[in-house]
């Protein structure tokens, strides 16, 4: 696809021009604040303002022409030494940049624009404000609130974007590229516009090329087997020829054997040549497939600088508002990052930087008292490390007070005092990422809203990454984000579940192990094993994915430990296949969200493979645990009688559930339990039961509604239903029978054989 600017209207080209030159203006003004008489910066600023003025005149936007001209005159005066720009004047010029962007998006306030243009025209007469040792003298942050991933519009506020969304894929105008000193392409390169859908298709095709390229290797192996068999044939012919010669057989037989041997040798020679050619083709095709795939992945990459353009301006504005001096250092601007990751990481980085400014970095006076330089250092670094993208956010501020954090955790009732005392630094800092957690007593405009770090954690987790914090009191705080280089490829562990391959992203796996069944213990009807000092519950992956059939009897269970912090679950699979790099194929949106599955991929042999959604699976595990419907490890190993009749007990009281379950299990019935009517309805739709026993008063769905749904369902309408309730009034009994129940018992029946007799009356014995 060529770089065709004909696809743009004149207003769109103007928008691109302003977007491009605004970056130069912002960067130049911030640099000018450090060196007011930099001729190089003043020249770049004057040219940028001049370019915008010309572009505004071309599209007949007079307000843009006047504002850009006023800014250009200001820079010319500074070049000629008639004006030395001060911080308060740079504030005004930065507001001018914001207004130029607003003009290009047709969102400018005409009255405010006219006032600002007049102020810039008389900028040399503008009186200086007080020095910024106090927050009151600072310029306000001109920011808009963006909605956080949690849906809370107040969770993080950012200044206006310097590069409006929606034009990042568009080609820059030639004039812009000539003037832009931060252009991402080298002089010999051209840019093209490619839709994200097209790139996604290319990634899928490149993955299929990889699959097809690997088909040749097993084919060459099969030809090699033919070669070996042919060698055996020639050996047999040699023996035949020898036998004929020794026994003095007829001449014709010897001639025929010799001819067969000659043809076989010729065939072997030709086959060897073809094998060599095929092997060369195999290597070339494999190399080509890899190069194509790498090139497509590279086309999805953008430099880290694309997401950092607005950060220097934001840090400068907030620092002035808070009365602090901060030097933002950004390293790794050229580091290549997947565009999807880059789009999602901006909000978390924005919050971490604002958090460092508000929470971590001290005021000028506090830094003086701590014998620190008045100007704090805030560092943002992006680098490729060990096949991952590592992003570091460091500050040299006060650090995190671990004792205050420990007390806050106890005060919020998250852990008791004894447990909090035993926690190390890493464990304590993990609490910062929990929803609603904050160590601040008051809410500020900058941060302290109690959701920021939770947003950071959830966003990073959605990208299959991890975030960690470390801190040293009095020295500073360090946040480390580890992300995959691309979301198009994942490193995953292949496992077999009920004879089918499934992939689990390695980044979400805590560990894998082969667990001796003797290590499996039971507590309150649940099975677990001990990992260090923590009890980890066990659940069969086949049960979560609703696969029929039992696991094979083995002394060792392949277990994958999923989750994080204090919430771990052991997933039992059939076997481990191995690690793979998989190309991610999104599922057709018409399928909707498939439970426990996030995407699909193709294996090397062309077989499809589903990629497990770990977060969804952990929720499914929690639901099964809450409902008490987990299959037991030893039950699976001991192969229970599959002919036992099945009963579903639905009650919100764990005591009642267990009493009923134990009574029925003792008589040989297979019993599943559900925690309320809704859970029971989901259970009976997923499985077949010979009898349903339900309470009446339950959350989400009461027993009457539950019974009516069963009777209205064509498949379930004949299933016997028994209501067991504390309510013994005649009207309650009649209402239950009217809803469709076959039996109505009171819970006092637990003290005799009435319940068992009623069950046997409805469905007979367990066998």
CATH of the domain at 27: 1.20.120.160
Q: Is there a single domain that holds both residue 270 and residue 332? A: no
Q: Is there a single domain that holds both residue 342 and residue 286? A: no
Of 191, 193, 172, whose CA–CA distance to 51 is shortest?
A: 172
Return the pLDDT at 377.
92
Q: Is there a single domain that holds both residue 506 and residue 624? A: yes
Task: Indicate which CATH number applies to the domain containing 494.
Answer: 2.40.50.180
Q: Is there a single domain that holds both residue 448 and residue 536? A: no
C-alpha to C-alpha distance for 433 and 424, rounded to whole angstroms:
16
C-alpha to C-alpha distance for 295 and 283, rounded to whole angstroms:
18
Domain-located, residue 699: yes
Domain-located, residue 152: no
Q: Quick check: 746 and 728 in contact, CB under 8 A?
A: yes
Domain-located, residue 400: yes
Return the pLDDT at 480.
92
Structural domain for 374, as ranges: 319-484
Q: Is there a single domain that holds both residue 627 and residue 728? A: no
Domain-located, residue 141: no
- By DSSP bridging, strand 500-505 and strand 608-612 are parallel
Work out the percent of the chain whose per-residue pLDDT is above 90.
7
Q: Quick check: 510 and 497 in contact, CB under 8 A?
A: no
Query: What is the C-alpha end-to-end distance of the chain, expressed in Å?
Result: 70
Q: What tokens appear for 681 in the block?
A: 């309805």
Domain-located, residue 326: yes
Which residues face 472 on adjacent strands? 476
Domain-located, residue 710: yes
Return the pLDDT at 692.
92
The angle formed by the CA atoms of residues 349, 350 and 352, to the nearest 5 degrees, is 60
Domain boundary at 633, 658, 681, which? 633
Give the tens place of pLDDT for each residue, 285-296: 777 777 777 777
Q: Is there a single domain that holds both residue 234 and residue 335? A: no
Domain-located, residue 595: yes
Spans of the chain, pLDDT less than 70: 1-9, 36-37, 127-198, 211-213, 215, 243-250, 252-254, 256, 435-452, 522-526, 548-554, 565-566, 625-643, 747-752
Task: Indicate which CATH number applies to the domain containing 717.
Answer: 3.40.50.2300
Domain boundary at 129, 152, 176, which? 129
Q: Is there a single domain that holds both residue 588 and residue 478? A: no
- By DSSP bridging, strand 721-725 and strand 691-694 are parallel
Helix (H) or strand (E) holding 352: helix 339-355
Helix (H) or strand (E) holding 522: strand 521-523
Q: Is there a single domain that holds both residue 471 and residue 329? A: yes
C-alpha to C-alpha distance for 237 and 591, rounded to whole angstroms:
61
Return the pLDDT at 157.
37
Return the pLDDT at 217.
73
C-alpha to C-alpha distance for 450 and 438, rounded to whole angstroms:
5
Domain-located, residue 466: yes
Q: Is there a single domain that holds both residue 518 and residue 608? A: yes
**Which residues lie below 8 Å from residue 323, measured CB to CB, with a gap of 6+?**
132, 133, 134, 135, 136, 137, 138, 363, 364
Task: Indicate which CATH number applies to the domain containing 435.
Answer: 3.30.565.10
Q: Is there a single domain that holds both residue 621 and residue 559? A: yes
Tell the burial category of 381 from Cβ atoms under 10 Å away from its Cβ (0-12, 13-18, 19+).
Answer: middle
Q: Is there a single domain that holds both residue 352 and residue 288? A: no
Q: Is there a single domain that holds both residue 326 and residue 294? A: no
Mean pLDDT of the residues in the chain? 77
Per the structure, how many domains does the chain have? 5
Return the pLDDT at 611.
92
Q: At what angle do helices 62-79 and 39-58 cross, to 10 degrees?
A: 160
Domain boundary at 582, 617, 633, which? 633
Return the pLDDT at 637.
44
**Which residues lie below 8 Å from residue 658, measured CB to CB, with a gap of 6+?**
525
């Amino acid at each position: 696809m060529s770089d065709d600017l004909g696809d743009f209207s004149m207003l769109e080209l103007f928008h691109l021009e302003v977007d491009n030159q605004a970056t130069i203006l912002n960067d130049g003004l911030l640099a000018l604040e450090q060196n007011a008489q930099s001729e190089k910066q003043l020249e770049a600023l004057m040219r940028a303002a001049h370019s915008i003025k010309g572009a505004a005149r071309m599209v007949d936007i007079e307000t843009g022409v006047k504002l850009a001209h006023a800014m250009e005159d200001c820079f010319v005066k500074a070049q000629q030494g008639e004006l030395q720009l001060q911080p308060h004047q740079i504030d005004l010029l930065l507001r001018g940049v914001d207004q130029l962007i607003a003009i290009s998006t047709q969102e400018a306030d005409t009255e405010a624009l006219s006032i600002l243009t007049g102020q810039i025209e008389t900028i040399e007469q503008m009186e200086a404000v007080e020095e910024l040792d106090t927050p009151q003298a600072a310029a306000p942050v001109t920011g808009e609130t963006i909605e956080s991933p949690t849906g809370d519009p107040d969770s993080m506020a950012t200044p206006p974007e310097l590069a409006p969304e929606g034009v990042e894929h568009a080609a820059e105008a030639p004039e812009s590229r000539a003037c832009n000193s931060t252009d991402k392409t080298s002089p010999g390169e051209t840019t093209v516009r490619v839709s994200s859908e097209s790139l996604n298709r290319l990634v899928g095709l490149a993955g299929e090329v990889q699959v097809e390229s690997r088909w040749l290797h097993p084919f060459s192996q099969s030809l090699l087997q033919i070669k070996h068999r042919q060698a055996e044939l020639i050996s047999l012919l040699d023996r035949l020829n020898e036998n004929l010669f020794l026994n003095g057989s007829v001449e014709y037989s010897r001639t025929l054997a010799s001819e067969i041997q000659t043809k076989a040798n010729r065939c072997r020679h030709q086959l060897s040549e073809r094998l060599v050619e095929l092997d060369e083709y195999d290597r070339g095709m494999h190399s080509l497939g890899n190069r194509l795939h790498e090139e497509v992945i590279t086309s999805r990459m953008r430099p880290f600088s694309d997401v950092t353009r607005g950060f220097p301006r934001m840090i400068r504005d907030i620092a002035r508002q808070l009365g602090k001096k901060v030097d933002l250092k950004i390293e790794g601007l050229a580091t290549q990052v997947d565009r999807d990751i880059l789009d999602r990481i901006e909000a978390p980085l924005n919050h971490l930087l604002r958090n460092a400014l508000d929470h971590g970095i001290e005021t000028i006076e506090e830094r003086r008292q701590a014998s620190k330089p008045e100007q704090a250092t805030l560092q943002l670094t992006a680098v490729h490390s060990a096949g991952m993208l590592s992003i570091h956010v460091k500050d040299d501020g006060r650090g995190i007070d671990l004792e205050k954090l420990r007390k806050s955790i106890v005060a919020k009732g998250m852990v008791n005092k004894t447990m909090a005392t035993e926690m190390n630094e890493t464990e304590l800092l993990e609490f910062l990422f929990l929803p609603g957690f904050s160590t601040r007593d008051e809410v500020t405009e900058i941060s302290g809203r109690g959701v920021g770090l939770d947003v950071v954690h959830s966003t990073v987790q959605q990208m299959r990454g991890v975030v960690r914090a470390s801190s040293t009191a009095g020295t500073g705080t360090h946040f480390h984000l580890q992300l995959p280089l691309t979301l198009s490829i994942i490193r995953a562990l292949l496992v077999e579940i009920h004879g089918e391959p499934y992939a689990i992203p390695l980044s979400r796996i805590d560990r894998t192990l082969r667990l001796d069944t003797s290590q499996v213990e039971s507590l309150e009807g649940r099975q677990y094993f001990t990992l260090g000092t923590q009890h980890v519950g066990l659940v069969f992956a086949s049960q979560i994915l609703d696969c029929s059939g039992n696991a094979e009897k083995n002394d060792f269970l392949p277990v994958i430990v999923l989750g994080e912090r204090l919430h771990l679950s052991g997933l039992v699979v059939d076997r481990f296949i191995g690690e793979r790099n998989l190309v991610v194929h999104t599922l057709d949106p018409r399928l909707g969200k498939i439970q426990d599955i996030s995407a699909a991929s193709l294996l090397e042999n062309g077989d499809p493979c589903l990629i497990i959604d770990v977060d969804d699976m952990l929720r499914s595990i929690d639901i099964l645990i809450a409902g008490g419907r987990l299959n037991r490890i030893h039950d699976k190993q001991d192969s229970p009688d599959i002919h036992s009749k099945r009963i579903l007990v639905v009650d919100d009281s764990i005591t009642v559930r267990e009493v009923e379950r134990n009574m029925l299990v003792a008589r040989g019935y297979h019993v599943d339990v559900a925690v309320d009517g809704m859970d029971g309805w989901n259970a009976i739709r997923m499985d077949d039961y010979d009898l349903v026993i339900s309470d009446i008063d339950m959350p989400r769905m009461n027993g009457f509604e539950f019974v009516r749904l069963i009777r209205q369902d064509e498949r379930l309408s004949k299933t016997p239903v028994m209501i067991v309730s504390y309510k013994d009034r005649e009207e309650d009994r009649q209402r239950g029978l009217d809803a469709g129940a076959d039996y109505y018992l009171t819970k006092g029946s637990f003290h005799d054989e009435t319940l068992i007799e009623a069950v046997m009356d409805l469905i007979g014995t367990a066998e």
